Amino acid sequence: MKNKIKSIWVFGDYRNYYQNRVTLQLLSKAVDLAHVLCAEVCAVVVGCGIEEWIMEYTAHGADRILAIDHPTLTSYSTEHYLALMEKLARERDPDIILIGATDFGREFAPRLAKRLKTGLSADCVGLDITSDGLLVQIAPSFGGNMLAEIVTEKHRPQMATVRPGTFKEIPHNYEKTAIVERLPLPDDLPAPRVRLLEYERAAQKEHTIENAKVIVCGGRGMGSGKKFKKLDELAELLGGDVGATRPVVYADWAGHEALVGQAGKHIKPKILFSFGISGAIQHTAGLGESEFIVAINKNPQAPMMKMADVAIVADAGDLLNHLIKELKKRIRE
């Protein structure tokens, strides 16, 4: 029986590289998982002119790089990547494939999982290895305030997508080396049926909620759209942005662009105020990078209160008014 080294693959999603560090973050986690499984970490990089990514992924944890460099692969093409990954996966039988849950990844991964007839957990907030060597995919459970530990028992590869910001990248290590396999473009690569005509970077606002240092977030517990609006005042005093939960957006107290949480804007504030939010997992799953959380809720048992650094038991609207009043007295340059 052939003794095969287990392989953990990370797909190189290198577009938007400087804002999008998810591949590096996944490589870091893959290194941890590889230690437990005595496996090899392999980054898959396909494109045209990919030397920089090969070096980056080597320096950030990969033991092996599977690289396909060809002019045909100049732009991101989900179809090309599907065809290539399916072929590579069938040939080499990786144990695990990790893909960043960027918009691209969230379209690419389920299609790849279908082609490989295997299971996929989306938007994992954690990964681990069980005592029987299975990948534990820790994902928010639907609509509850819980997490689920999910495994793919029989099918391979085990696949998971992970949101940017879930794991921390390993610092760049200039000494690290990797085995780089430069593979040819398969000659049976089908022509894509979806053609990319043009693309442009969407206008990046200088200041967005995504890079806000202070975020003032409100939930249903604010009571009304009018009371919710008062959060603007606190945000302004603190030089921050206002965020909203899904129920608030549905109630039209805030626009869809204010939605934060797992399916909304990806935030990483230094201080997060959470007013009248009970803490459904789709919201709290997106708060992992908030450094200091202050939650205000009438209910001390609310999940949001339990995950906060400071939990103030009070009516959200009432406390907001007092906080604004007191800050106005105290703030000076």
Strands 126-129 and 135-140: what pairing? antiparallel
Environment class of 176 (CB within 10 Å of its CB; exposed 0-12, middle 13-18, buried 19+) = middle
Task: Please check whether residue 242 is in contact with residue 214, taking contact to mean a CB–CB distance below 8 angstroms.
Answer: no
Q: What span, in angstroms and rounded, lies between the C-alpha atoms of 195 and 177?
A: 37
Is there binding between residue 270 and other proteins (CB under 8 A)? Answer: yes
Cα–Cα distance, 92 to 323 (Å, whole number): 59
Q: Are 60 and 17 in contact (CB under 8 A)?
A: no
Length of the chain: 333
Comparing CB distances to other proteins, the nearer of 55 and 307 is 307
| Residue in 123, 166, 178, 228 binding other proteins, rule: CB under 8 A | 123
Give 8's strand partners. 41, 96
Site string for other proteins, 296-315 (x = CB under 8 A): ----x--x--xxxxxxxxxx
Least gap, CB of 306 to other proteins (angstroms): 6
Q: Which amino acid is at 96?
A: I
Segment interacting with other proteins (CB under 8 A) among 4-12, 40-48, 165-173, 239-247: 239-247
Q: Which of 7, 28, 262, 274 binds other proteins (CB under 8 A)?
A: 262
Considering the complex, what minimum distance in angstroms separates the CB of residue 157 from other proteins? 11
Least separation in angstroms between residue 179's CB and other proteins is: 29
Query: Taking CB under 8 A as the rule, does residue 293 contact other proteins?
Result: yes
Please give the Cα distance from 109 to 10 (Å, whole number).
Answer: 12
> Rule CB under 8 A: is residue 251 a binding residue for other proteins?
no
* Cis amide prior to 186 (ω within 30 degrees): no
Q: Alpha-carbon distance 23 to 108, whole Å?
A: 14
CB of 317 to other proteins, least distance (A): 10
94-113 residues in contact with other proteins (CB under 8 A) are 102-104, 106-108, 110-111, 113
Shorter beta-carbon distance to other proteins: residue 89 or 122:
122
CB closer to other proteins out of 58 and 145: 145
Edge-to-edge strand list for the sheet holding 158-162 = 120-124, 158-162, 96-100, 7-11, 40-47, 64-69, 179-182
Residue 90 to residues 82, 85, 86, 95, 111: CA-CA distances in angstroms?
12, 8, 6, 11, 15
Per CB under 8 A, the segment of 26-34, 56-64, 148-156, 169-177 that binds other proteins is 148-156
Which range, of 38-46, 63-71, 173-181, 324-332, touches other proteins by CB under 8 A? 324-332
Give the span between the Cα atoms of 282 and 91, in whole angstroms.
37
Segment near other proteins (CB under 8 A); pick from 30-38, 166-174, 182-190, 274-282? 274-282
Site for other proteins in 177-216 (CB under 8 A): 193-202, 204, 213-214
**Residue from 6, 17, 20, 128 that binds other proteins (CB under 8 A)?**
20
- Smallest gap from Cβ 60 to other proteins, in A, equals 20
For the bound state, the minimum distance from the C-beta of residue 104 to other proteins, rounded and expressed in Å, comes to 6
**CA 209/CA 239 separation, integer angstroms:** 11
- Residue 182 pairs in a beta bridge with 67
Segment near other proteins (CB under 8 A), from 59-67, 120-128, 172-180, 221-229?
A: 120-128
Of the two residues 61 and 164, which places its CB atom closer to other proteins in the complex? 164
Residues 53-92 that bind other proteins (CB under 8 A): 79
